[in-house]
Structure 1
Amino acid sequence: MTLLDFARGPALEFAFAVFLFGVLWRLSSLLLLPWARDRSVARPGVPSRAVLAAGGFVRHLWPAKPYLRTALFATINGYVFHIGLAVIVFGLAQHILVWRGLFGVSWPNLPSGVVSVVSVITLASLLAALGRRLTNPVVRLLSTVNDYWSWFVTTLPVVTGLVAVSHLWAPYETLLAVHMLSVALFLIWFPFGKLMHAFLVFLTRGETGVLYGRRGVKI
C-alpha cells in the first residue's frame, strides 16, 4: 500500500468516522443535559423561541457599536478566512468529486485559478489571525494550546493544498497524500477542540437570543 492509498483509504475513512462520532457525541451530550426551567416572566408580546433564536444569531454577526472599533479587524478577518475556507472546500472541482463520492451530489465548480487566489487570501487571513493572537496582549493572555493547535490543523490543509496544486518539492502523488493526511488530522481534531464552534455557535447564540428576548434585552 502506497502512502497515497493509505491517505485516501484507511486514514480518511477513520478520520470521517471519528468526525461523525465526535460531532454527534458532543451535540447529544449537550442537548441531553437537564435544562433548567426559565422561571422568569416573559415580556408581553414576546415572539416564539425560533424567532428569538434567529434574532440572537443575526444580532451577533456584527459587533455592537461600543466595541466596533476594537473588534472590527478581528470580525472582518474572521469573515475572510471562513468564507475563503468554504470556497475552497465547496468550490474546487477535486473537492466536489469527493462530495459526490460521499453523498452522491455535485454542483458546478469554480475555476481552479479563482480557488487558488482565494486559497492564498485565506492563508494570508489565517496568518493575520495568528499575528493578532500573538501580538494583542489580551488575546495572547486568553489563548490556550487549544487555540493554537486548532489554528494549525485548519491552516495545514490550506498550505498542503496550495503546495500540491503547485507541484512543489515532491512528486504530486506524495503531495496529494500529505494534503489528504492533513485533512484527516483536521477531521479527527474537529469535534474535540474549538473548531466545534462551527456547530455550537448556532446553539449558543440561539439560546442567548431566547434569553435576551424573554427579558426584553436589546443590544
Structure 2
Amino acid sequence: MELLDFARGPAMEWAFAIFIIGVLWRLFGIFFLHHRRDLNEPRHGGAAPWWGAVKTVFSRMWPRREFRERNTYSTVLGYVSHIGLAIVVFGGAFHLLFIRDLFGVSWPALPTAFVYLSGVVALVAFIALLVRRITHPVLRLLSNFDDYFSWFVAVAPLVTGLMAVAHLGARYETLLAIHILSFQLLLVWFPFGKLMHAFLFVPARAVTGYVFTRRGAAT
C-alpha cells in the first residue's frame, strides 16, 4: 500500500504541478515570441483571413487529395488510437470517479466491456503506428527520441490500466499504483515533448491558414 499511497498522494501533486506549470510556460513562451511584422500587402478579392484560419483547422484533419493514398492508413490509425483512448479516459467508471474528485463534474459511465474493448483497439492501433514508424524508411529517418518516448508514455497508462482491470501480473493494488505512476509520467513529460500538440495543433493550423489566406495562397 505504500507505493499506492505515494502514487495517490505526493506523486500526484508533483505531477500535476509540473504539468500545469510546464504547459503554461510553453504557451506563454510561444505567445511572447518576437514576431516579425508581415509587410506583404493582403490579397484582395479572396476569402477573409479569419475564415482561412477557421477553415484550415478543420481541413487539415484529413490528408489532402494529393497525399490521401499514401497517408490514409496512418491517419485512420491515428484517429482510432485517439478516439479509443478518449473513450477509456472519459468513459471508464474509475476514471470518472477521479475526474469527479478532481474537478467536481461527472457524467454516466460507458459499459465496462465497451471501454475495455476500446482500450484494446486503441492499443493495437498504437502498436501499428509504431511498427509503421520503424519500418517506413522516411519516418524512421525523421524519428527521434521524442517520438518514441512520447509514444511510450502515451501507451504505458493504457497497458497498465488494461492489466489492472484484468488483474494480470501482480496484485491489484500494485497494478493500480503502477498505472497511476505511468499516468503521472505522461503528465510530467507532456509539456516538454510532442504530446504538447494537443494544445498547439489548433493555433498552429489557424495561424498557417490566416497567413496563407492573407497572401492569397490556397489552404
Give TM-score, length-normalised by structure 2: 0.96
Hey, what's the Cα distance between the residues in 1 that align with 2:73 and 2:161?
A: 26
Q: Which runs of 5+ in 1 are unaligned?
A: none
Does residue 40 (structure 1) correspond to residue 40 (structure 2)? The answer is: yes
* Distance across 2 between alignment mates of 1:182 and 1:2: 16
Check if 1:145 corresponds to 2:145.
Answer: yes
Cα distance in 1 for residues equivalent to 2:93 and 2:42: 50
> Per-residue displacement from partner, 1:41-65 (whole Å, max 9, x unpaired)?
1122555554322111111111111
How many pairs align? 219
User: Normalised by the size of structure 1, how large is the TM-score?
Assistant: 0.96
Q: CA deviation at 1:174?
A: 0.6
Q: Could you say what the CA RMSD is over the residues aligned between the two structures, in angstroms?
A: 1.2
Give runs of aligned pairs for residues 163-178 of structure 1, distance below 5 A. 163-178=163-178
Letter of the 1:111 counterpart? P
Q: Structure 2, unaligned stretches of length 5 or more? A: none
Query: Match of 1:179, as an amino acid?
Result: H
Corresponding residue of 2:119: 119
Matched, 1:184 2:184: yes
The aligned counterpart of 2:87 is: 87
Aligned partner letter, 1:44 = H
Distance, in Å, in 2 between the alignment partners of 1:42 and 1:170 is 63
Choose 142-151 or 54-63, whichever is displaced more: 54-63
Letter matched to residue 160 of structure 2: T
Letter in 2 for 1:144: N
Question: In the alignment, residue 123 of structure 1 is paired with which amino acid?
Answer: L
- Identity level (%): 52
In 2, Cα distance between the equivalents of 1:18 and 1:89? 20
Letter in 2 for 1:28: F
Q: Counterparts of 2:51 and 2:91 in 1: how far apart (Å)? A: 32
- Aligned position for 1:65: 65
Q: Which whole-Å CA distance do the structure 2 matches of 1:16 and 1:99 have between them? A: 13
- 8 Å contact from structure 2 (residues 3, 177) kept in 1: yes
Verify: 1:129 aligned to 2:129, yes or no: yes
**Alpha-carbon contact 2:48-2:213 (below 8 Å) kept:** no
Provide, for residues 120-160 of structure 1, a one-character-per-residue CA deviation record: whole Å limited to 9, x for no partner: 00000000000000000000000001100000001100000
